Amino acid sequence: MAKPKIATTSLAGCFGCHMSILDIDERILQLAELVDFDKSPINDIKEFTGEVLVGIVEGGCANEENVRVLQEFRKHCKILISLGDCAISGGLPAMRNTIPLQECLDEAYLNGPSVHNVARRIPNDPEIPLLLDKVYPCHEVVKIDYHLPGCPPPADTIWQALVALLTDKPLDLPYELIKYD
Amino acid sequence: MTDKTITFEIDGVEVQAKEGQTIMQAADAVGKYIPRLCAFEGLPAFGSCRLCTVKVNGRFQAACIHPVAEGITVENDTEELLEFRRNIVDMLFVEGNHFCMFCEKSGNCELQAMAYRLGITAPKYPYMFPADRNIDGSHKDVFIDHNRCILCGRCVRASKDLDGKNVFQFVGRGPQKRIAINAQAKLSDTDLDVTDQAVQVCPVGAILTKHVGYATPVGQRKYDHQPIGSDIEANNK
């Protein structure tokens, strides 16, 4: 029987959650026995090759590309996990949510104290994904099945959650593995 | 409070209390923890956060203000009430700007600890990201960050009843309700002192002491290993 597949992605995140995935240390060998990796920055597969059992999403949705990737994950993954505070609440990028988008762009590209922008132009090349009005948590964009909070979530949280899901056991995390920081 | 002993039932267990005690005081004394955020020992009961809602003879009551009475039946640790409490904590999280990942109070925060205790991994309501919350850093030793305020009123009561100062008050109603400082003054315009009880009682990171942030390493903070309420449950006889 073919091994189940997992996929991961980082949307508006810092890759800290992916570092925490790698922080399962030598258990990654066990993980490699349990699953195959599909689309993921860990193996650099860019597009889905088929249906996936578990999708892990780091980061919230700050731009249209984040939304497109997240919708693609929902389409291909039987179980979708929000990994970390950014995926769950928007996280640090969501600090801009209390400031109008235009003001954020003006500060970043025109008025900031360290800005050197002779052309006085805010980048708007069609290649650059358009920013959303604010940063959205993943579960406000698509249905999310499980949330693993933390900044980043402890490696043990990720490991226990994955093992439970892959072995069809209930996901019951102990007190010390649910943390918001 | 009199010396008269009262017998009542909490979660099917018969317990003794003194006449005049609230349900919360009586439950604490026998090691039964009723979750709370606005209630604080030494401050007058307030009944605003409603996290301590229990069922008394089948009716919802706030345990922090409801007195014990002979023969009452109190439900506390039931799935129905836990779900209500999760909803309240969810709403508190989405209604403010609670960025646990960089908050100095993280690990010692009662709101966060309550969410941990209730097993919340993500709030079920959409985040509001209010834009009208300001920060007052004018005082030399203390700052107030309204983004994190949950309107529990502990600082209001502590300033008035323990410090005798009236530095903090509520203004506005409903969604506009917020903590004001001496009728719109800045924190530095008041006689607030860093040693005031009003500074110490804040359950969240709204009122914090300057110059001491992140002093305790992760893993050694108050709620890193023990759920909130464990100290009370340790008295369980």
Band (B1; pLDDT cuts 50, 70, 90): low
Nearest-angstrom CA–CA distance, B213 and B190: 23
Q: Are A37 and A45 in contact (CB under 8 A)?
A: yes
Q: Which residue of B has its CA nearest to A91?
A: B99
* C-alpha–C-alpha distance, residues B188 and B196, integer Å: 14
Collect all residues with Cβ–Cβ distance below 8 Å to B216 and sequence separation of at least 6: B107, B108
Q: What is the mean pLDDT of chain B?
A: 95
Biggest CA-to-CA distance, chain A: 61
Task: List residues of chain B with CB under 8 Å from any CB of chain A.
Answer: 97, 99-103, 106-107, 112, 115-117, 119, 121-123, 126-127, 129-131, 133, 218, 224-225, 227
Largest pairwise CA distance in chain B = 53
pLDDT of res. B236? 78
Does the CB of A104 have a partner CB in chain B at under 8 Å? Answer: no
Whether pLDDT at B237 is above 80: no
CA distances in angstroms from A1 to A66, A166, B176, B201, listed in the order given: 33, 14, 59, 59
> How many inter-chain contacts (A to B, CB under 8 Å) are there?
67
Phi/psi for A5 (5° steps) reads: -115, 145
Two tokens, residue B121 = 């991994």
Span A106-114, average pLDDT: 96
Query: Is the Cβ–Cβ distance between B226 and A176 less than 8 Å?
Result: no
Cα B36 to Cα B51: distance, rounded to the nearest angstrom: 5
Q: Which pLDDT band, with edges at 50, 70 and 90, does B143 fall under?
A: very high
Record: contact A137-B122, CB cut-off 8 A: yes
> Does the beta-carbon distance from B99 to A139 stay under 8 Å?
no
**Low-confidence winner among A104-108, A171-175, B183-187 (lowest mean pLDDT):** B183-187
Q: Report the candidate in B190, B137, B143, B141 with the shortest Cα–Cα distance to residue B166.
A: B190
